[in-house]
Amino acid sequence: MRIISGIYKNREFSSPDDIKTHPMGNREKLALFNMLLPYLSEKIVLDAFSGSGALGFESLSRGAKRVVFVEKNKKITKTIKNNCETLKIPPETYEILAKDVNKLDLPSNKFDIILADPPYDNFRIEEIKNLVNFLKPGGILALSSPKVPDLNEIAPELSGLELLSSHTYAAARISLFKKI
């Protein structure tokens, strides 16, 4: 895997050897970060369901101030840590939490941006709704969710959030929301 743009552009990193992770494709990642471009500079980002850490690394590469990676699989968090070291990311710009997103004990209204790319085979909208508590007012939630065949053009409804944009890419729907 590699970083698409920014200060770490074209740098490669490892993906976990775990069938439960589904790295976002380059096309989808490019689209997501094109949507996030106006919001990312000097922001504090939560990379929920981190997997390899690809979305967090891309955020740091494109100007985020700090990223908190959240991944419940401890083996996979070791991959994120190794990737941070390989990429030579300054330790003060990231934190890695080996926790389930439903068990986070972080202050509310902490993050400017939350990146949520949960496992599609076990997508639960309740987990996403819980994450909204950690988003600052005016903050952005970027959600990658499975495309539902009957509802191709509809993003999930999330109370307290305004839908800014939503697009379908292959089996994924990428939606940007703003906390009201």
Over the stretch 151-175, which tens digit does the pLDDT of each residue have?
545 678 899 999 999 998 877 889 9
26-179: CATH topology is: Rossmann fold (3.40.50)
3-state secondary structure of 39: coil
Number of C-beta neighbours around residue 9 at 10 A: 12
The answer to whether the pTM exceeds 0.85 is yes
Which residues, in sequence order, are CB contacts of 149 under 8 Å at separation 6+?
none
123 vs 84: CA distance, rounded Å: 27
> What is 1-35 written as a DSSP string?
-B--SSTTTT-B----S-TT--PPPHHHHHHHHHH
- With CA atoms as reference, report the closest residue to 18 among 61, 88, 80, 100: 80
Per-residue pLDDT tens, the chain, 180 aa: give them: 999 999 999 999 998 876 565 678 888 999 999 999 999 999 999 999 999 999 999 999 999 999 999 999 999 999 999 999 999 999 999 999 999 999 999 999 999 999 999 987 778 889 999 999 999 999 999 999 887 665 545 678 899 999 999 998 877 889 999 999
Extents of the domains making up the chain:
26-179
